[in-house]
A and B are shown apart, each in its own frame.
Chain A
Amino acid sequence: MSASLVQQLIDGLAALMLLTSFALLAQHRMLSVLNWFAAQGFLLAATAAVVAYGTDNHELYISAMMALLLKGMLLPWLLWRVIRKLRVHREVEPLMNSTLTMIIALGVTLFSFHIIQPIEKISELMTRDSMAIATACVLLGMLMMITRKKAITQVIGFLAVENSLFFAAIGSTNGMPLIVEIGIAFDVLIAALIFGLFFFQIRTTFDSLEVDAMNVHLIHKDDDE
């Protein structure tokens, strides 16, 4: 494979990454959200593998393997089991004002290109074009965390942000040093397990997975009456 072909492949994968971020934001069926999340994990692994091939960086193959196992398979599978057990896999989450969310998402994407493009130029890596998209994906994941009302989709937003950060690391620097990658992956795994425990606690305590049902217990703590 020639270098320009690798570069085109990376750009194509970056575009698909952006697509999954938008899809996660717009989907309202629980299972579809999960499927898109899994697709994002596979895309990450593919990107890491292509970059590893293009730059002949062997550490990155290990990162790609970790992404495939953790983000493409293990985490979606864990989440899938949780939503089956909680019997919410058929649930449809009403999105609040989806037109407005999409317009904000477009704005966020343009903003990312605006701040990142000037600094992209100083890089000589073949992956540098994907930096702005990675930034956009990070912010879109955060937008998903803000706009979602259910605990599970909030967590998928959180994990999508982690995915985008991994993507950003590959795009801007061809991956963080392996020891840091492993540390981050370990933290994400622990976080996901704790999230899983929380779902059941939230469900038994509040009889619902709506975040608003929880916040009621905190709001009355502020202010007089």
Chain B
Amino acid sequence: MNLFLATLLSPLVGGLLLGMINNPRLAARINIATGVSTFTFSLLLAIQVLDTKSVDAIDGWFHLDAYNVFLVALTTFVGMTTTIFSGPYMRHELEGGRLDLPRLRLYHSMFQLFQFGMLLGFTTNNIGVLWVSLELATLATVLLVSLYRTPASIAAAWKYFILCGMGIALALFGTVLVFFTSSAVLGHGNEALNWTALYAHAAELDPAVMSIAFCFLMVGYGTKVGLAPMHAWLPDAHGEGPTPVSAVLSGLLLNLALYALVRCKMLVDGSTGTDMAGHIMMGFGLLSLAVAALSLHKQRDIKRMFSFSSIEHMGLMTFAFGIGTTLSSFAALLHMTVHSLVKSGIFFTVGHAAQAMGTQKMSEIRGLIRHHPGIGWGLLIGTAAIAGFPPFGVFTSEFLLFTAALESYPWTTVPLLLGLLVAMAGLFRFVQPMVYGEVAEQAVQVHVNMLPVYVHFALALALGLAIPGFLAGWYEQAAALIVSGAVSGGGA
């Protein structure tokens, strides 16, 4: 499994290397090279896994199936485009004096270590190692959020650290409870924490313990997903950190937490044989949608506003996974993909817009289209895409989600539709005055790189128009896997 090792280790090697490089131009290039190589390896790996259905690597310590290899490819892709975006963006921050060289070095190094933590979490077969890697990715991003050392960014990083530390501690307690019941079945060893072994023996796990464990896991990982009412850290962390970090937080880290939650749900379903876990997830999902849609309207900071939109979409995905049918899981996976693509694209655009206007306050950002058509149109198109306008992929996935909800729980379509409408109104209420009209006085010309944004939006558009056959097959495999709760093929 050399491809797998190459995928996993390139960000680690890149991160360690970048920790020693002071030259900002060289560091940016190495950062991009690391991103590109990781993505290339993961793509080859994904093709291999698609052929063979599932792969175990390194004595079963790692397990790849349709569900996680798809997320690995998505993570490395968004990671790669973020490195491309962050080159000119971070140079501008450096020239503007918001950063100095040692902190830029910290940024590059931590960014790649974050990628490593993400990939480790997605691919590990061990529920305990998953926890460790999620914590690792969190610690790396804590340092990234406080990168600017402004009072607000330090306060935001502290809040992020404390709240997520608390959340993730609950998740660890849930993991201990899982081990408590699984070690009675599978013996006291690593075996009892392996997804593959756990799924195979899910029915033998004690349902009472698993129910309590799920409550802890739900609140714990749910905090990291950014579900209401545990979402308080998310807008601050997104708003105060550097924009590339906001993009990967929203586009990637939340996905890892949701991935962990869904894996746990599959296990609990297998043990209890009821819809308890799904119903809890649906409840949290709907609540997040409602809270985020309403909070959107109260925002003044552009990055905070879009971070509430992330809470809204994570709520939708949690809801969709909670329904638990093949169709809804398909919709959730598709939604995960398009949300990651579109939202990170939006954050790239927002970063450029904030640099051009010299502020993140929405009331002072005016006339983006006239000032710089690329940024202006990018923001408008991105907002249309994330609000769920056809023909973008978000529309397709939301449509599928509605169909799934209508099949299983018809009454939920009313709050769903209401939440989406309120959120859409909130987005356009703020975005319209920012893109149209006269240019704000303080606007400056900045060097922008819109290529990653266009690539992201084009992919989201393509997914909306027609999902390529191989990708649809992939989603179907993954959705079937999630519903059946079994890890296909190989195993322990």
The 8 tightest CB contacts between A and B, nearest first, are A180-B128, A183-B132, A214-B155, A172-B180, A217-B152, A187-B135, A217-B151, A177-B190
Inter-subunit contact B149/A177 (CB<8 Å): no
The interface stretch among B250-258, B297-305, B314-322, B395-403 is B297-305
Main secondary structure of the interface of B (DSSP, over half): helix
B129-174 residues with Cβ-Cβ distance < 8 A to A are 129, 131-132, 135-136, 139, 142-143, 146, 149, 151-152, 154-159, 161-162, 165-166, 169-170, 172-173
Pick from B152, B173, B209: contact of A138, CB under 8 Å = B173
- Inter-chain contacts of A218 with B (CB < 8 A): 152, 155-156, 159, 236
Inter-subunit contact A221/B236 (CB<8 Å): yes
Inter-subunit contact B158/A179 (CB<8 Å): no
Question: Assuming the A-B contacts A145-B162, A187-B135, A221-B304, are A119 and B206 also in contact, with contact meaning beta carbons closer than 8 angstroms in the complex?
Answer: yes
- Inter-chain contacts of B155 with A (CB < 8 A): 214-215, 217-218
Distance to closest chain B CB from A210 (angstroms): 11
Listed in ascending order, the chain B residues whose CB lies under 8 Å from chain A are 126, 128-129, 131-132, 135-136, 139, 142-143, 146, 149, 151-152, 154-159, 161-162, 165-166, 169-170, 172-173, 176-177, 179-181, 183-184, 188-190, 192-193, 206, 208-209, 212, 235-236, 239, 298-301, 304
Inter-subunit contact B300/A221 (CB<8 Å): yes
Inter-subunit contact B189/A177 (CB<8 Å): yes
CA distance A59 to B239 in the complex (A): 44
CA distance A156 to B129 in the complex (A): 24
Closest A residue, CB atoms, query B163: A145
- A158 at the binding interface (Cβ < 8 Å): yes
- Inter-chain contacts of B184 with A (CB < 8 A): 122-124
Question: Assuming the A-B contacts A158-B165, A198-B161, are A168 and B173 also in contact, with contact meaning beta carbons closer than 8 angstroms in the complex?
Answer: yes
CA distance A183 to B176 in the complex (A): 14
CA distance A219 to B139 in the complex (A): 24
Distance to closest chain B CB from A26 (angstroms): 20
- Inter-chain contacts of B152 with A (CB < 8 A): 217-218, 221
- Inter-chain contacts of B239 with A (CB < 8 A): 221
Inter-subunit contact A119/B162 (CB<8 Å): no
A87-146 residues with Cβ-Cβ distance < 8 A to B are 115, 118-119, 122-124, 131, 135, 138, 142, 145
Inter-subunit contact B169/A138 (CB<8 Å): yes
Inter-subunit contact B162/A154 (CB<8 Å): yes
- Inter-chain contacts of A172 with B (CB < 8 A): 176-177, 179-180
- Inter-chain contacts of B172 with A (CB < 8 A): 165, 184
- Inter-chain contacts of B142 with A (CB < 8 A): 194
Pick from A119, A131, A151: contact of B208, CB under 8 Å = A119
Distance to closest chain B CB from A1 (angstroms): 21
- A176 at the binding interface (Cβ < 8 Å): yes
Q: List 26 A-B contacts (CB under 8 A).
A: A118-B208, A119-B180, A119-B209, A119-B212, A123-B180, A131-B180, A135-B173, A138-B169, A138-B170, A138-B173, A154-B162, A158-B162, A158-B165, A161-B166, A172-B176, A172-B180, A177-B192, A184-B131, A184-B172, A187-B132, A191-B165, A217-B152, A218-B159, A218-B236, A221-B301, A222-B298
- Inter-chain contacts of A214 with B (CB < 8 A): 151, 154-155, 158-159
Inter-subunit contact B154/A173 (CB<8 Å): no
Question: Assuming the A-B contacts A119-B209, A173-B188, A194-B143, are A151 and B158 also in contact, with contact meaning beta carbons closer than 8 angstroms in the complex?
Answer: yes
- A205 at the binding interface (Cβ < 8 Å): yes
- A69 at the binding interface (Cβ < 8 Å): no
Distance to closest chain B CB from A170 (angstroms): 10
Indicate with 1 or 0, residue by residue over A179-205, a CB within 8 angstroms of chain B CB atoms.
110011011001100110010011001
Inter-subunit contact B128/A201 (CB<8 Å): no
Inter-subunit contact B166/A180 (CB<8 Å): no
- Inter-chain contacts of B208 with A (CB < 8 A): 118-119, 122
Distance to closest chain A CB from B162 (angstroms): 6
Distance to closest chain B CB from A24 (angstroms): 15
CA distance A90 to B153 in the complex (A): 29
- A174 at the binding interface (Cβ < 8 Å): yes
- Inter-chain contacts of A158 with B (CB < 8 A): 162, 165-166, 169
Additional A-B contact list (12), CB under 8 Å, known A122-B181, A180-B131: A57-B188, A118-B208, A151-B158, A158-B165, A161-B166, A180-B132, A187-B139, A198-B158, A205-B149, A211-B158, A214-B158, A221-B301
Inter-subunit contact A173/B180 (CB<8 Å): yes
Inter-subunit contact A180/B154 (CB<8 Å): no
- Inter-chain contacts of A198 with B (CB < 8 A): 146, 154, 157-158, 161
Closest A residue, CB atoms, query B126: A180
CA distance A60 to B131 in the complex (A): 20
Inter-subunit contact A180/B162 (CB<8 Å): no
Closest B residue, CB atoms, query A115: B212
CA distance A26 to B453 in the complex (A): 53
- Inter-chain contacts of B183 with A (CB < 8 A): 173
- Inter-chain contacts of B128 with A (CB < 8 A): 176-177, 179-180, 183-184
- Inter-chain contacts of B180 with A (CB < 8 A): 119, 123, 131, 172-173
